[in-house]
Amino acid sequence: MRSKDNAPIVELGGEEMPDVVIVALISLAGTLFGSIAGIMTANKLTTYRIGELENKVEKFNNLVERMFKVEQNTARQWDRIDEIKTDIAEIKATIQRGE
């Protein structure tokens, strides 16, 4: 069948539809599918990258906590060294006095 302007017409469900409209609908469906697929892929990539960043942040936080403990332990060791120096000085003084 042909329309008044000689364009081919397709019957769909009892109604006549020009080929151009069918091509446009197929193009629309393809465009929608492609857009949705692209959005989903980008979303998956974004989710993956956020997860990787969260892992890096967790590792960094663990490092910060460990360094804080090391600093505390080092401060205690320096205090202990100061105590030992004081003890040594007292022992030297005692020896020099001849006690």
Q: Does pLDDT of 40 surpass 90?
A: yes
Domain boundary assignment for the chain: 9-97
pLDDT at residue 88 tops 80: yes
3: left (phi over 0), alpha (psi -120 to 50) or beta: beta
- Given a cut of 60, whether residue 3 has pLDDT beyond it is no
- Mean pLDDT score across all residues of the chain: 88
Which pLDDT belongs to residue 75?
Answer: 94
Cα distances (angstroms) measured from residue 3 to each of 6, 12, 17, 21, 59:
5, 15, 9, 13, 70
Q: Is the pLDDT of residue 34 over 90?
A: yes
What is the average per-residue pLDDT within 63-75? 94
CA–chain centroid gap for 47, Å, is: 7
